[in-house]
């Protein structure tokens, strides 16, 4: 009795069946993508993206801080200068006083009592000078206060105010307060009284 050997066609069929089985069992790596990522990975990616959006440019922050410091520093110096002017007197105050003196001389050129001449020529000029100096003192006071409260309304990135700016602003405020007190005393003749016709 003769046995029939297996044909090459049956061997090829067996090979194809094993290949199909292996392909079905193997995972499809070509379809993996963002959808296969775990929820924790997705949350971390979203948080990193939000952090990148919220972070500002460090160069822009540095420029903003430098600009803010320069502005407040200049304002502090202006406050101190205005305070000095209020104590020493401004040219505008002298011009206004000379104008009042001239007006008083014109009014009393036709005659008048000594008390009227003192009031028109001297008192008006004195009070005008006190008024102008008082305005400079008020400006110094206001600018100094604005410099001190500026950090409360500035950007958070600006940080604390430099010490020298606060010192100059405080000096301007002190000079402004002193100038206001002196101007009030001059205007109401509390420091030096007006001369009288008798002496």
Q: Is residue 145 within 8 Å of 194, Cβ to Cβ?
A: no
Is-above-0.95 flag for pTM? no
pLDDT of residue 105: 92
pLDDT of residue 70: 85
Residues 79 and 89: their CA atoms lie apart, in Å, by: 15
Residues 76 and 141: their CA atoms lie apart, in Å, by: 10
Average pLDDT, the chain: 77
pLDDT of residue 54: 45
Nearest-5° Cα angle at 145, 140 to 149: 150
pLDDT of residue 110: 81
The one-character DSSP state at 157 is G
**H or E element, residue 128:** helix 124-153
Tell me what the mean pLDDT of segment 74-82 comes to: 96
Q: Helix 91-107 crosses helix 124-153 at what angle (to 10 degrees)?
A: 150
* More confident: 176 or 5: 176
pLDDT in tens, 52-68: 444 445 545 555 555 66
């Amino acid at each position: 009795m003769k046995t029939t050997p297996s044909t090459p066609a049956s061997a090829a069929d067996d090979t194809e069946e094993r290949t199909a089985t292996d392909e079905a069992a193997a995972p499809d790596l070509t379809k993996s993508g963002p959808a296969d990522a775990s929820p924790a990975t997705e949350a971390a990616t979203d948080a990193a993206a939000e952090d990148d959006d919220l972070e500002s440019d460090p160069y822009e922050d540095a420029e903003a801080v430098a600009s803010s410091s320069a502005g407040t520093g200049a304002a502090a110096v202006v406050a101190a200068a205005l305070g000095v002017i209020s104590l020493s007197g401004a040219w505008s105050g002298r011009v206004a006083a000379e104008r009042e003196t001239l007006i008083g001389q014109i009014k009393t050129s036709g005659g008048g009592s000594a008390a009227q001449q003192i009031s028109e020529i001297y008192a008006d000029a004195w009070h005008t000078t006190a008024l102008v100096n008082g305005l400079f003192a008020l400006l110094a006071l206001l600018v100094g206060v604005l410099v001190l409260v500026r950090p409360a309304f500035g950007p958070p990135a600006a940080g604390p105010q430099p010490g020298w700016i606060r010192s100059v602003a405080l000096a301007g405020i002190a000079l402004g307060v002193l100038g206001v007190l002196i101007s009030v005393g001059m205007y109401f003749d509390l420091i030096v009284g007006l001369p009288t016709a008798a002496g």
